[in-house]
Amino acid sequence: GKTTVFSGPSGVGKSSMINLLLEDRRMETGSLSEKIKRGKNTTRHAEFFSLGEDSYVLDTPGFTSLFPPDISPENLRYFYPEFEEYRQSCRYNTCYHLGEKKQDCGVKQAVEKGEIAPERYESYKSLYQEIVEERKNY
C-alpha cells in the first residue's frame, strides 16, 4: 500500500484533487479571498482517507509562505542571487528595489529589460511585504 500527502499553499486545490479521488466522501472546499487573492484555509486539520487496497491519502491545511521567520526585510534582497550583478547599478547602497525610481535601481531596470524574470521580482515584492506585515504582529 501507499500513503500520499497533499501539501501546499492555501487555495491551490488540494481538497478538490482529493474529492476527485474519493467516491463517497466530499471534502469541504472554499473560494479564494477577494482581498488577498489567496485561499481561506478551509481545511483546518490533517485527515486520512482510505482509497481502498491499503492505500491512503492525507489532506493537510494550506500555508501562506515558506520563508524562514528570521529573515529581515532588509536582508531579503540577498536571497535573490539574480539581483546581485544588478545591485551594483543601484544609485544607493540601501536600495531595496521597491520604492526607488526606476532610473535609480539596477534591479528594476533589469526586470524591465527581461534580464530578471518578472515573476521573481513579483515574488520578492510579495515576500518583502509579507515579512514587513508579519513583523508588525510581533
Distance CA 94, CA 69 (A): 22
Distance CA 7, CA 127 (A): 20
pLDDT digits (tens, 9 = 90+) for 102-130: 999 999 999 999 999 999 999 899 989 98
User: Which of 53-57, 105-109, 134-138: highest mean pLDDT?
Assistant: 105-109
Give me the domains of the chain, ranges plus CATH numbers. 3-59 (no CATH), 76-136 (1.10.40.50)
Considering only residues 97 and 130, tell me which one the structure prediction assigns the higher pLDDT.
97
% of the chain residues with pLDDT over 90: 37
Of residues 132, 134, 137, the one with CA closest to residue 96? 132
